[in-house]
Amino acid sequence: MDEIKNKGWRVTMAGLGINLALGILYTWSIFKQEIKESILAGDGRFNWDMASLNDPFAVCCLMFTFAMIAAGRLQDKVSPKLTAIFGGLLTGSGLLVISQSTILANWILGFGILTGMGLGFGYASATPPAIKWFPASKTGMVAGIVVAGFGLASVYIAPLSNFLIARFGLSQAMMIFGFAFLIVVCGLSLVLENPPRGYKPKETAVKTKKQEKPPVKTEDFSPSDILKTKAFYKLWFMFFVGSGAGLIIIGGVAGMAKKSLGDMAWIVVALLAIGNASGRVFAGILSDRIGRPRTILIMMSFQGIMILSLLFMGESQAYLLLAATTLIGFNYGTNLSLFPSTTKDYFGLKNFGMNYGLVFSAWGIGGFIFPRVSQMVVAATGSYESVYILTAFLLFLSAGMTFITRAPRGMRERATIITELEPGKLYSGNFIYQPESSPAQNSEQAESDDKKAA
């Protein structure tokens, strides 16, 4: 048993390390600022249209999410190890491609498509095998630890990027990152491993009167099943808004800070990364205690308030900007532990990789639409005010949606200890165990029964 526990933590730490490399995505604002300065200086290196500055980042987010769906399926059916190795190869090759050219199309191909796909395959392989080694009561904590690496990466990549760009130039810096991350991700991928078939982590449960009721056996939802539930689309919208709102700031924070902090603008990127990583761990632990919906409500509301606060900050208020971006990063990071944990709670563990890939598509589409639209608005108006107001409104709307978002009935009835139930027998009020029904059918039947009971 000790060996199994140790293996679970080894897998968790390997996933954390992989994400520490893949988190180069969150340092985009530094690369973007270097490109912007080249355009404004007219030095001939980057001849891009200003409205296209975020295009490689936006395409990267989109490819990330599409790759997550395929990678989730691959790691469920084949191996998280091979899936992550493929991700490392794609990420490294994408960075090497952009190191050879300054043309926008090549940056969209290299950073947007290849690196984006690589991030998806690597990221999708890190969390599922880790949480499979641990009981349900630790799902949020373990998911938070693994994904914290992705958010924390900018703490070291931001200053390292500044150093490498100043010393060797942007193209050479991308080449160094390409070789380094290819080696690191592929190396750590060898540690990733799913638990053996039939393995069930031991849950330390505190018995209460509620737990003395007959436990209900639940089935894991297939990808096609979750698309038939209302819960999926509600989760998807909330994730879309929460991620898109954060990525607007992440994609442009270095430029925002440049006016007040000059060459020290990378500090804002690093602080945002610290907030990003700590938010993932904090929200994971908190949601294990008070529940995912309540935690999402708190974090969405707080994010809306923080983004509105940017309307009242001047360019000279550096300390306020540092505090605000750290908290915005913190709130953004909570999404990346809350939504995988909620996906596991709502739809089961068997098909978690692909199911979360479908939910995660909200992150990619949000990352594509929000930064792209915001950049167009800023290019046209010269101000972020309209962007902040609309984004805050959508965040408050998402917070309100937590009051009407619930797990499919079968998953709500889940107990800590699962035992076989007698087919056709009535359990827990209106729930009838029917082994031949699909999870989606059980959910629809339960929703119908709830309406009749009401």
What is the phi/psi pair of residue 427, to 5°? -130, 150
d(CA 48, CA 439): 50
Residue 434, pLDDT score = 42
DSSP, collapsed to helix, strand or coil, labels residue 414 as strand
- Tell me which long-range contacts 310-313 makes (C-beta under 8 A, separation of at least 24): 310/384, 310/388, 311/385, 311/388, 311/389
Q: Which range has the worst mean pLDDT, 12-16, 141-145, 174-178, 289-293?
A: 141-145
Higher-pLDDT residue of 61 and 254 is: 61
pLDDT in tens, 373-423: 887 887 788 777 888 898 999 999 999 999 998 888 655 444 333 334 444
Residue 96, pLDDT score = 96
Check whether 217 has a pLDDT greater than 70. no
Higher-pLDDT residue of 137 and 254 is: 137
Residue 210, pLDDT score = 42
Return the domain boundaries, the chain: 2-194+211-411, 419-453
Mean pLDDT, residues 149-174: 88
Which CATH number, 2.40.128.20, 3.30.300.10, 3.30.1600.10, 1.20.1250.20, labels domain 2-194+211-411?
A: 1.20.1250.20
Check whether 51 has a pLDDT greater than 50. yes
Place of tokens 């078939």: 197
Exposed, middle or buried by CB within 10 Å (0-12, 13-18, 19+), for 419?
exposed
Residue 317, pLDDT score = 67
Q: What is the mean pLDDT of the chain?
A: 80
pLDDT category, 426, cuts 50, 70, 90? very low
Residue 6, pLDDT score = 52
Q: What is the CB neighbour count within 10 angstroms for residue 271?
A: 23
DSSP, collapsed to helix, strand or coil, labels residue 37 as helix
Q: Which range has the worst mean pLDDT, 169-178, 273-282, 299-308?
A: 273-282
Length of the chain (residues): 454
Give whole-number Cα distances, 241 to 155, 235, 278, in Å.
25, 10, 20
Residue 111, pLDDT score = 94
Using only C-alpha atoms, the chain has a radius of gyration, in whole angstroms, of: 22
Higher-pLDDT residue of 100 and 259 is: 100
